[in-house]
Structure 1
Amino acid sequence: MTAVTQPQPLAVRRYPDLLARAAIGMFLVVNLAIIHLMFVSAGPPAYNAFGSVGRLLGLYLAFAMVVQVLLVARLPLLDRAFGMDRLTGWHRWTGFTVFWLAVLHPSFVVLGFASHDGVSVFRTALTLSAQLPVLLGLVAVALIMLIVGLSVRIARRRLSYEMWHAVHLLLYVVLLLGIVHQLYEGTAFAINLLTWLYWWGLWVFALGALITGRLIVPLLRNNRHRLRVAAVVPESDDVVSVHVTGRDLDSLRARSGQFFLWRFPGHNRWWQVNPFSLSAAPNERSLRLTAKGVGSTSAGLRDLPIGARVFAEGPYGAFTLDRRTRTATLLIAGGIGVTPIRSLLEDPALGGDVVVLYRVRSGADAVLLGEMRNLARERGARLHVLTGRTGGANQPFAPENLRALVPDVTDRDVYVCGPMALTNAVLVSLRRLKVPSRQVHAELFRLAG
């Protein structure tokens, strides 16, 4: 008989998170203070205020790029404290910040030179772009504009996940061009040996974290665990489960609700990677992912041969029972978002009163429903399958309807995963019902880069 592991007390579980958040906040404040100190110590540029503003914006731009690198480095400290989904949201907004700084920095620099020399802005821009360091910087700006343009929601919807991910690989080219540009054009961090060591030490730290988190650690882990496809099980016409086995899987310390970045060498190109949640509680023998065929990678999973190699990065995500603050739990799943919810429902640490809401268009779309019913029966959980098109009187996640289904919703931790529209509707209703934000846990899968 499997013993049920009760979650740690809230104070014990959240103390490391609070320390991590304080450390991250201190990192940002201290570095911004140092950047302003370097800017002041460097003195005003030889030309005018336009150039001075341009130089400060250049420092902001370089630091924003450092922050961006750290956000995509898969740092365990950040993942545990905030969750990869929230970090990816910050990555998106940091990307827009980088975009505007990349536009404004050269604009002010050109204005400064044009005003000082008394020539047109266009002629000044042409003269500066003839210099190789400046040209490399302008190429980086053009690539940033391309990446951000394809990340805008209207453009994003027209791209497959695989293509969108491939476009984000251009970020590494931007980093290289940006570093070369700083080597030749940087002045504020070349005041003395101390500022030089600080600035390039910051970049070494960021790039070291990136290489370690995105290359070295995954390579070492996959060499150790030797993941292989053990079984491929169709769950419906367009949904398939893949069972993965390997060595020493317990040392991965994966948790229900988490996800991996999956690659299938020989079946897909090396750059095709997808975030799929664990759809069953992980154990020392196997991992299971369940995916709907919406892209080239996920659609081809049913053709994976038994024994095929698997390359996985992770586990990632804070969508786990470690985040609970209450003994009662509400699990809300929409469509294929049922996968982490089903995993949480199986987790031995899940105790107390549990309610599950599973939203699908029709009963035929309710994949893993048999497993959900069996698990709910074993745990004494209440499972409600909500069907039909949303609209008119059928608004199951409207505040009044959600309260009718779960009258004590404010006294529960709420886990929600599903399509963006469903998740947003649930989050809005929870705010209107005054469910404390610390009790709300959402997985949105906005992963990029």
Structure 2
Amino acid sequence: MLNLAAVQVMFAAAGPAKNLPGTIGRLLGLYLALAMALQLLLVARLPIVDRAYGMDRLTLWHRWTGMAIFWLALAHPAFVLLGFARLDGTSFLATTVSLAKQPPVLLGMIGAGLILVIVVLSVRVARRRLSYETWHAIHLLLYVVVALGVLHQVYEGTAFRVNLLTQVYWWGLWAFALGALLTGRLIVPLLRNARHQLRVGAVVSESDDTVSVHIIGRDLDRLPARAGQFFLWRFPGHQKWWRANPFSLSAAPNGRTLRLTAKGVGATSAGLRDLPIGAKVYAEGPYGAFTAAHRTRGATVLIGGGIGVTPIRALLEDPELTGHVVVLYRVRSAQDAVLLGELRNLADVRRARLHVLAGRSAAGYQPFEPEQLLALVPDITARDVYVCGPDALTTAVLDSLRRLRVPGRQVHAERFRLAG
């Protein structure tokens, strides 16, 4: 809110443009630049922000900010061009062609076009048709957009050039956002990987299409990882550098090894089975607030679906997850229940209740409908609920929890939409 107020003050101090469309375009340009700076802070994934709010909440903010950027990237140039067209007495198209010959304006147009491409390909319908690796590579265009946006502001910005104070504020804001991005996405990962020297220690087949990779390294007891968190994993030399996937830890960190378990559904996860022992590993993280640290009640329900059971299995092993635990594991068939033996052993050790909910959803079998959840866990409103799985499952569970009036502070979900 303070930044929005500062933008309004800067806009007022700069004065209006030569006509109304130009004035509106100038204001929308300031909003666009501010929204882009906020988006940089969200994708920086600073540990303090990540631990405080969690990936699911950050994902929601990321989506809202992305849509705001989309509409502002359409409206800002449209109003600016309309203003110049009226001023010069030419058509909108002729003005566009004429101004596009000026490098600063062309840079802004290219940046706006890339924003439209990124947002359109992030819409759910388009997202479902893309592999995670392709979607992730497309989002690397964000860094090109940032570079173009900064250059465009250097040459075209007027509102923040009013005086020294506005220039210090505006470029200070952008320096902070860019610094956060470089710190969270480059400096911290480089330092951690240099320190821990992560390598593949073992590759274990869990089923025909699921594999676990055990990661070894130096001083892993000093890596601030917790059960329920995830890393972005890369395997240099064996996969392309831009291929990074968010895999949760499938076992609680023990200070000696880290374990991830993945199903072969994409180029990265399918290639895990062929990783040689000793292969270098590059990891970003740990990320996520899907941990026992965010519990508010003494008892817990852990709900996992498909391969989304991996952080659930890690949480079940976590000694910090005290109190009575109920585990609901949703799979299409018992054969699809990976890590089931480990879950049963852990449930026996800590006297937890484990329900394997197998079978396809049908009119008479909807295990996550409110009535079914209450039948499985009668005191669910008095427990913390952790849920991780396919998007449809997570959405269904969250909807039922709202209908059962489970307080929002007791609900913890991980969707990985911002992970990339």
Question: What TM-score do the two structures reach when normalised by structure 1?
Answer: 0.92
**Structure 2 residue 317 is matched with structure 1 residue 317:** no
Equivalent residue for 2:255?
284
Q: In 2, distance between residues paired with 1:88 and 1:311?
A: 24
User: What's the CA shift string for 1:385-431, capped at 9, x where partnerless?
Assistant: 01110011111111111101110010000000111111111111111
Residue aligned with 1:151, SS: coil
Match of 1:41 among 9, 13, 24: 13
Paired amino acid for 1:367: V
Q: In 1, distance between residues paired with 2:296 and 2:68?
A: 34
Q: In 2, distance between residues paired with 1:178 and 1:66?
A: 10
Q: In 1, distance between residues paired with 2:221 and 2:27?
A: 49
Contact 1:57 1:101 in 2 (8 A): yes
Contact 1:275 1:447 in 2 (8 A): no
Equivalent residue for 1:196?
167
Equivalent residue for 2:348?
377
Contact 1:79 1:316 in 2 (8 A): yes
Q: In 1, distance between residues paired with 2:366 and 2:55?
A: 30
Equivalent residue for 1:347?
318
Residue aligned with 1:288, SS: strand
Contact 1:260 1:315 in 2 (8 A): yes
Residue aligned with 2:413, SS: strand
Contact 1:278 1:339 in 2 (8 A): yes
Q: In 2, distance between residues paired with 1:88 and 1:130?
A: 38
Equivalent residue for 2:385?
414
How far did 1:447 drift? Answer: 2.5
Equivalent residue for 2:309?
338
Equivalent residue for 2:74?
103
How far did 1:65 drift? Answer: 0.5
Contact 1:69 1:210 in 2 (8 A): yes
Paired amino acid for 1:37: V
What aligned pairs does 1:97-246 form with structure 2 within 5 A after superposition?
97-246=68-217
Output the aligned Cα RMSD.
0.9
Contact 1:51 1:111 in 2 (8 A): yes
Paired amino acid for 2:42: L
Paired amino acid for 1:377: D
**Structure 2 residue 277 is matched with structure 1 residue 306:** yes
User: What's the CA shift string for 1:309-334, capped at 9, x where partnerless?
Assistant: 10011100000011111001001110
Match of 2:219 among 244, 248, 251: 248
Equivalent residue for 1:23?
none
Contact 2:55 2:415 in 1 (8 A): no
Residue aligned with 1:393, SS: coil
Q: In 2, distance between residues paired with 1:44 and 1:330?
A: 57
Paired amino acid for 1:265: P
Paired amino acid for 2:9: L
Contact 1:279 1:290 in 2 (8 A): yes
What aligned pairs does 1:7-86 form with structure 2 within 5 A after superposition?
29-45=1-17, 47-86=18-57
Contact 2:43 2:418 in 1 (8 A): no
Residue aligned with 1:83, SS: helix
Residue aligned with 2:296, SS: coil
Q: In 1, distance between residues paired with 2:193 and 2:241?
A: 14
Contact 1:258 1:278 in 2 (8 A): yes
Q: In 2, distance between residues paired with 1:283 and 1:304?
A: 23
User: What's the CA shift string for 1:353-391, capped at 9, x where partnerless?
Assistant: 111100101000000000000000000000000111001
User: Between Structure 1 and Structure 2, how many residues are aligned?
Assistant: 420
How far did 1:95 drift? Answer: 1.4
Equivalent residue for 2:412?
441
Q: In 1, distance between residues paired with 2:175 and 2:372?
A: 53
Q: In 1, distance between residues paired with 2:12 and 2:48?
A: 33
Paired amino acid for 1:231: A
Paired amino acid for 2:408: S
Contact 1:376 1:383 in 2 (8 A): yes
**Percentage identity across aligned positions?**
73
Q: In 2, distance between residues paired with 1:444 and 1:84?
A: 7
Paired amino acid for 1:384: H
How far did 1:157 drift? Answer: 1.0
How far did 1:448 drift? Answer: 4.5
Residue aligned with 2:253, SS: coil
Gaps of 5+ in 2: none
User: What's the CA shift string for 1:222-267, capped at 9, x where partnerless?
Assistant: 0000001000000001100000011111111211000001000111
